Structures are given as C-alpha cells and as structure tokens.
Amino acid sequence: MEGFLRFLAAKAILLALASSFVSCYDPSPLQDFCVAVDDANGVFVNGKFCKDPKYVKAEDFFTSGLNIAGNTINRVGSNVTNVNVDKIPGLNTLGVSLVRIDFAPGGQNPPHTHPRATEILVVVEGTLLVGFVTSNQDNNRLFSKVLYPGDVFVFPIGMIHFQVNVGRTNAIAFAGLGSQNPGTITIADAIFGSKPLIMPEILAKAFQLDVNVVRYLEARFSSNY
C-alpha cells in the first residue's frame, strides 16, 4: 500500500509539473489549418468546425477594411473594429486575432477585460493613456502609462484595462490578442446593464452607493443610451 501511495504522489507531482508548462486557451491545431465553417447538424465544440481542406481558398485567410476609420460618434467616443475568427475563418484554432481602435478626442475604450486573451497594443496616431488593474491578490495595483505613436503596451489576460485619448486630435491603435475569439466584458455594461438586471440593493452595497443611484445607472445602461 505504501508503495502504491508513493506512486500516486509521484504521478500527481508529474501532472502538476506538466500543467505548469502548458498555457493554452485556444485549441491547438493538429493540421496546417482548420478553416471555420458553420455546420448546423454538428455538435458545438470549443472552436468551430473545419472546412474540408480541398475547398479552402486564399479568401478564407483574408479580410480588408482596417484602413477605414470606425465611427466614434457614440457615448464613449471610440470604435473597435474586430478581426477575429468570424471575420477570417482561417484563424480557427490559430489562437490570434486583431482589432483596430479609433478614438475621438477625449474618447475612451472603457474599463473591460478579455477572459481568453492577452492583448498587445501599438499606438499609430495620437496620444493614449492606458492601464490595467491587477487582481485582488495583488492588491488591485494600477499600471498606467501615456503612449505616443510607435509605443507598445501589454495587457495581461483577464486583467481589467482601458485606453483613453488624452490628446486634442483623433487617435488610432491596433492590438493583437492571443485568441481567435478573445471575448470582451465591458465592466459598466456588464454590471449595470445585465439581462435581467442585478438587484439594485446588491450593487448598492457592493459599490457603497445609494440604491437610487444604482437604479439610475441601470436605467441608463439597460436602455443603450
């Protein structure tokens, strides 16, 4: 019995060590590519179904339009143009995607998180104040910096982060993300605009706000003003 327990302990240690070297969030490809295709008859999997390689074309790995500025006339003064697996089917299983972010003067990409991806951002035009906040275990430290054209900043996976145009002209940034479908959770929208709404009393206590202030915020965010 003692020998068997030692075997189990050794096996557990080996598994722990192996898992420490693995950091994959998207499926790893087992072939040259797996061009995404919709299949209503199949079972949904973590990713998308693969097109038969015989029918794959160059267009499956291509999109255009990132030279066109996004519309920033909205409540936050920014626009995110996504290039993910829904835009380029050939990204399926490759673990990367791209965004273009346009900012009006004073516009912001409000605090949000990507649950499945690290983000690396480069400023092309304008001046951005960017930052991210660490987890509770790290005392919610803020790492922030002003970026100019050519500057690059990294936002670790899962961290709440933001970008704000602090210049007097429009700003443009591009960002790469370590997932074909990184997901986005905009904090204010998720908290105050959930469907159905979170009970105001819960948020009032969590944010130390008057319950009427919470009701006002929920009315604003749930109406997509």
Binding annotation: 109, 112, 114, 119, 161
Tokens matching residue 98:
């791209």
Instruction: Tell me the binding residues for oxalate.
Output: 109, 114, 119
Instruction: Tell me the binding residues for Mn(2+).
Output: 112, 114, 119, 161
What is the Cα–Cα distance from 185 to 148, expressed in whole angstroms?
Answer: 26
The distance of Cα 48 from the centroid of its chain, to the nearest Å, equals 18
DSSP letter at 141 equals -
Which ranges constitute the DSSP H helices of the chain? 2-20, 187-192, 200-207, 211-222
Cβ-in-10-Å burial (0-12, 13-18, 19+) of 55 comes to: exposed
